[in-house]
Structure 1
Amino acid sequence: MRGAAMLVRGVGSILQMQFAQPYGGVSKIMNKIMAIDADKLRSQFLHLLHTRRTPQVPLCVIPGKPVNDPLYQEFPKPIFSEVMSSCPKEDIPNMKELIQEQNFYLTTEEGEQGRLPVLVLSMKEATKKKRPAIVFLHSTNKCKEWLRPLLQAYASRGYIAVAIDSRYHGERATNTTTYRDVRTGAFALCFCSSLGSILLRLYKYFAYSEYKQCRRALILSWKKGDTMPFIYDTVWDLIKLADYLTEREDIDSSRIGITGESLGGMHAWFAAFADTRFSVVVPIIGVQGFRWAIEHDRWQARVDSVKDVFEEARSDLGKNEIDKEVVEKVWDRIAPGLASQFDSPYTVPVIAPRPLLILNGEEDPRCPIAGLDIPTSTAQEVCADADCPLNFKLTVQAGIEHQMTPLMVKEASNWFDKFLRMSNKNDPVVMWLTGGPGCSSELALFYENGPFQISHNMSLVWNEFGWDKVSNLIYIDQPTGTGFSYTSDNRDIRHNETDISNDLYDFIQAFFNAHPEYVNSDFYITGESYAGHYIPAFASRVHQGNKKKEGIHINLKGFAIGNGMTNPEIQFKSYTDYALDMKLINQTDYHNINKLYPKCQQQINSCGNGGEDACLYAFQDCTNIFSSIMDIVGDKNYYDTRKTCEGNLCYDFSRMETYLNDNQVKRALGVGDIEFVSCSSIVKQALGTDMMKSFVVGIPPLLEDGINLLIYAGEYDLMCNWLGNSNWVHAMEWSGKREFGAAPSINFTVEGEDKGVQKNHGPLTFLKVHDAGHMVPMDQPKAALAMLQRWTQGKLSNT
């Protein structure tokens, strides 16, 4: 789906913004930018960093200890960040016991500020493997400990999460003993009222002194010009940190991300510009156009954030007030090139085509969005020229000033998962098949568990709970004639599961032949609805191929059917039981409709014995049961009885059809002029004699050979209801039938909330999902993702 994904734009309250000519002489600037020699510009910047260094010292690691009382250079001290706590995290029991913490110092240069405090959180792993790492950078006045909620969330998801104290912050801001002495005075204030006013003055004096430490460094930089504490000195530290991270045995040196908020966002921006080892970059409310702000009189808010140095400069320059000249001179002194050759129009495009997500607020006075037109449009061009247009994105949240929001935290999380975590070839390969028959798997891709969803403005947006978070996904339009799959020969239209399974087997063989890096990955077959026919048949075909040593061995570990139609005889009998339990019909209705079942059952049995005409009669007679219920139910959605039926499929999927029929999307996908339809009537008609056949018979041999089976069903689906699925699962003959029947039902919980009821024995699991209809990943996305992850990791039976 790479081609379709090329059209990522913005969403809802997130605006993807474009602006006309923010700089004077735009064409000249653009020509100059496009002619940038990235290596030369980077070399110039690194030379600048070296000229302000003390003699270099060997990089060494000094053990440290957890900081129990971190220094925040603001009063009162912040306590909790709801924004950072909103970061997606794995639901892992006893997670605190499973996270390991490292505290140490790196020597990045001589002197007190050359001692870089580092905090690392990661999950304890039974097996050693290289993992992606992300560096997190705090904002002004904060410290690395403030970032703990983010570090813990990312660590829970398999990242090695790293944070540092930037220059003159945290452990680098003041002597620890002095700080604690001051806090002792503040403590005495609570108990010594007679000394209260004196102690309060002392506390405010020392606290303000600590708060001013970074400001003093900026003023000294203005006075002497021998240090660059605003941004560049910390960038030097980050380059040295990259030296260390790339040598760690547990870190994949090709997958190191970097992000930060505000000041930390600027650090991330410049570190990624200076050092290509930072492979995925997400500056949050940090990127701005410094020259643009000067030229358009929008420099005030940024200057106010570090005003002391500008006031000092104003006085030194004999000015009555801070003006553009003062601003320009200060930037050029404390961060040379910040408002010229190293400004965002030149350095941001140099980060590309590495994945770069810039997150800003629409009303941010410190990072005016209008000043980002040239750097962002140029970065987009660089990515497009490198054939990876999705590697750049600017997300602007409407109505937000200079603040990080939960939405930004989730966007950043999705970005890192997409470009760092998804590339993990240790994740299983999961194939998804949508039912119908004849319905496109793009329904699941865009409405259920794919990486993207389609917003109301026809743009693609990240799906926070896409199954790509924990697997490598394959969506297939099948049988032939479904979705974008096509044939010019009607003989390719399939009429039975044998031919369908052979086609799928040929496909998966071709896939692994083309992508040998995934051959050893665990392989799972999943899907829903009529895929209750496809999936058991295809799983049997794969297992048979493995036993006969046909082609590439496929590491089949399991298959999962969601709200499927697998055993029509049992499932059609369950319609009235389910409808009565759900109060869709009354007792009289129940009795009358049940009179239709014997004829349905008779025709199903004849169908199973090879009578093709009987299969057609069975479909007609059995659907009379369903139709009789619907005559009573009325306009309820038979896929979710809580809702009203809309359109032919009882859901409005028109956005997907509009999107996939867009000519630009079609060109990107290479599908020619094929008209996309959600469900093919031709395919459905061709499988008329297939519908009433049972595909349970092939399942027991798979179970006996240890292939895992998950049957799950949303509780509000009438069409392929949970009761009918439960009944056929319990009736299935296999060696574990008795034990499965006797197994207790236990709650399926996600982050402490009950999301369903499950039953397990050996390789078989049945899960009834609460508050969901036919499309469980759409109705309960977080629970569905947790279900998949636990199941593929062999942990579902333990919850």
Structure 2
Amino acid sequence: MRSLILTLLAIAFCDYGSAFTNVYPKLKSYPVREGEDVGDPLFLTPLIESGKIDEARQKASVQHKEMADVDSYAGYFTVNKQYNSNLFFWFFPAKINPENAPVVLWLQGGPGATSLYGLFTENGPFIVTEKQTLKFRKYSWNINHNVIYIDNPVGTGYSFTENEAGYATNETDVGRDMHEALVQFFSIFPELRENEFYVTGESYAGKYVPAVSHAIKDYNVKAKIKINLQGLAIGDGWTDPINQINYGDYLYQIGLIDFNAREQFTVMESKAKDLIKQGKYLEAGEVLDNLIDGDFGSKSLFQNLTGYNFYFNYLHIKDSNDSDLFAQFVQRPDIRKALHVGNRPFNTETNKVEKYLRADTTKSAAYIVEDLIKNYRILIYNGQLDIICAYPMTVNYLRNLDWPGAEKYKTAERKHWWVGNELAGYTKSVDNLTEVLVRNAGHMVPGDQPMWAWVMITHFTHRKHL
């Protein structure tokens, strides 16, 4: 049955685009050259299963002269032995009070974007310079959090599988594999099991974060190693497509299209929503690709009408991100050796991850959020200047959630959020839900407003009101 499903998916991949293609910058590949010393990949699962926890921890320690002042651990967790599927992680203990600091999992979106993007360009301890050296980020989340970055799902970044059947085809697969990795993580770091745990991420992680959180909730019932999940945070997330597809009105309101163009958007958006209602998710994806992405054919309607090739921040028409600096850095032989990835390819082309999740992209994860919000705290934040997952579209899906606080949320007072003497944004809180708009930020809020993002996540994980 699995082979039949994969065959059908392979056929489908040839016919339809994706509703939410990997919006992150395309990274370059820097293959290992013959004779370069990159060490061997470190697979920790056999050591964990043999009870050699101290050895696993010692071997996972990252040793490199440029990172000598920062403790960290990296390597592979095997999450499916049948397909030899492995997830790569890089863990940074908190600088302050790691024994009691919350444990935060960070997941990049895409689908298929490496979480090292977030580490190096948004909220991790390091920034890669043009000279391929490191400098420290002032507002790194690991100041007061134990932060785990995992390349998710299998096939992303340094994560890999040796069988086509190892790729995730839905969010259940994503949640299962991630839970397996987390159980192994807490086997190596048992002293952190009682710490509060939070699942966080951005963009397409608007699906990953609820899926992983829900998997933890379900597996905790019978799991020997229970994960102390307390909440989840999603930044500029793609969670509920049918209620987030409203680009025409938004682009019209910010002046990027005129009334006539808005009508063109409305027609295509209505078609996409009708297809979603009919369960024709791949066809809906094709419509949205023609509407926004333009990754699988000619330019999209958005590109043609606005002249933009960039939808992270409406103040910029094209990508000026220097993300290739970190891509080159993590593929250097000495860094490969330090991170214990050996000669494993760094997956810069994410087509396979995208293709196997293609039928998933226009499906809603709102029902998972509705279930989680009953027992866990949820932070939903958006950058003011984002296009692809714009604030009004996020609010629209939040207003359509079915949960005990739904009516209170619709009438709740929106408050100013100040950091010192700066107006950082606006916030609204009802029961377990906190919604935040971050001013002067685009799709990647921690990258655009690092101090405010750090204050925001700190208040959330330390149970303080903004």
Q: Secondary structure at the match of 1:640?
A: coil
SS at 1:709 equivalent: strand
Alignment length (residue pairs): 376
**2:252 counterpart letter in structure 1:** L
Q: Following the alignment from structure 1 to structure 2, what is the Cα–Cα distance between the partners of residues 724 and 479?
A: 26
CA, structure 1 residues 736+531, in 2 after alignment: closer, same or farther (shift >3 Å)? Answer: same
CA drift of 1:714 comes to 0.5
Distance (whole Å) between structure 1 residues aligned to residue 102 and residue 393 of structure 2? 30
Which whole-Å CA distance do the structure 2 matches of 1:583 and 1:471 have between them?
A: 40
Structure 1 distance, partners of 2:130, 2:238, is 32
Corresponding position of 1:120: none
The alignment's TM-score, normalised by the length of structure 2, stands at: 0.77
Q: CA deviation at 1:421?
A: 3.4
**Aligned-CA RMSD value:** 1.9
Out of 325, 329, 333, the position equivalent to 1:663 is 333
Shift of 1:422: 3.7
- Structure-to-structure mapping, 1:497-516, within 5 angstroms: 497-516=171-190
Structure 2 CA distance for aligned equivalents of residues 768 and 679 of structure 1: 32
- The partner residue of 1:762 within 422, 427, 431 is 431
Q: 1:635 to 1:779 in 2, by over 3 A?
A: same
Question: Which position in structure 1 is the counterpart of 2:197?
Answer: 523
| Mapped contact 1:636–1:642 kept (Cα < 8 A) | no
5 Å-filtered alignment, 1:375-774, equals: 389=65, 421-546=95-220, 548-572=221-245, 574-607=246-279, 614-626=280-292, 627-646=300-319, 651-678=321-348, 680-705=350-375, 707-774=376-443
Alignment of 1:70-89 (within 5 A): none
Rounded Cα–Cα distance in structure 2 between residues aligned with 1:569 and 1:543: 26
* Cα shift at 1:389: 4.3
Is the alpha carbon distance of 1:489 and 1:747 closer, same or farther for their aligned partners in structure 2, counting shifts above 3 Å? same
Q: Secondary structure at the match of 1:508?
A: helix
CA distance in 1, matches of 2:182, 2:406: 32
Asked whether the equivalents of residues 98 and 144 of structure 2 are also in contact (C-alpha less than 8 Å), the reply is no
* Alignment partners' CA distance in 2, 1:534 and 1:551: 23
Tell me if structure 1 keeps the 8 A contact 2:209–2:232. Answer: yes
* CA distances 1:312-343 after superposition (whole Å, capped 9, x unpaired): xxxxxxxxxxxxxxxxxxxxxxxxxxxxxxxx
Paired with 2:231 and 2:439, the residues of 1 have a C-alpha distance of 23
Deviation at 1:679, TM superposition (A): 5.0
Letter aligned with residue 132 of structure 2: M
Which string of whole-angstrom CA distances, capped at 9 and with x for unpartnered residues, describes residues 524-546 of structure 1?
00000000111111111111122
Instruction: Write out per-residue CA displacement over residues 203-244 of structure 1, whole angstroms, 9 at most, x where no aligned residue.
Output: xxxxxxxxxxxxxxxxxxxxxxxxxxxxxxxxxxxxxxxxxx
Return the letter of the residue paired with 1:660: V
Larger radius of gyration between Structure 1 and Structure 2: 1
Q: Which structure 1 residue ranges, 5 or more long, are not aligned? A: 1-385, 394-417, 608-613
2:197·2:227 contact (CA, 8 Å) conserved in 1? yes
Which string of whole-angstrom CA distances, capped at 9 and with x for unpartnered residues, describes residues 43-102 of structure 1?
xxxxxxxxxxxxxxxxxxxxxxxxxxxxxxxxxxxxxxxxxxxxxxxxxxxxxxxxxxxx
What do the CA deviations read for 1:546-595 (whole angstroms, capped 9, x no partner)?
2x2322121111101101100011111x2112111211111121122211
Q: Which runs of 5+ in 2 are unaligned?
A: 1-61, 70-91, 293-299
Alpha-carbon displacement from aligned partner over 1:245-300 (angstroms, at most 9, x marks no partner): xxxxxxxxxxxxxxxxxxxxxxxxxxxxxxxxxxxxxxxxxxxxxxxxxxxxxxxx
Q: Specify which structure has the bigger relative contact order, considering alpha-carbon pairs within 8 angstroms and separated by 6 or more residues.
A: 2
CA distance in 2, matches of 1:557, 1:521: 10
**Structure 1 residues 526 and 420: CA distance shift in structure 2, 3 A:** closer
Partner of 1:785: 454
TM-score, scaled to structure 1: 0.46
Secondary structure of the 1:558 match is strand
Q: Could you tell me how far apart the structure 2 residues matched to 1:445 and 1:391 are?
A: 14
Relative to structure 1, the CA distance from residue 628 to residue 390 in structure 2 (aligned partners, 3 Å threshold; closer, same or farther) is closer
Aligned mates of 2:306, 2:290 — CA distance in 1: 14
Distance apart, 1:623 and its partner CA: 2.9
Give yes or no for contact 1:657–1:677 (8 Å, CA) kept in 2: no
Deviations 1:727-764 (A, max 9, x none): 10111110100111111111111112111111110110
- Does the 8 A contact of 1:509 with 1:551 survive in 2? no
Residues 302, 308 of structure 2: 8 Å contact kept: no
Output the CA distance in 1 between the equivalents of 2:412 and 2:93: 41
Q: How far apart, CA to CA, are the structure 1 residues paired with 2:321 and 2:455?
A: 25
Give, in whole Å, the separation in 1 of the partners of 2:310 and 2:255.
15
Moved over 4 A (4+): 386-393
Structure having the larger proportion of residues in helix: 1
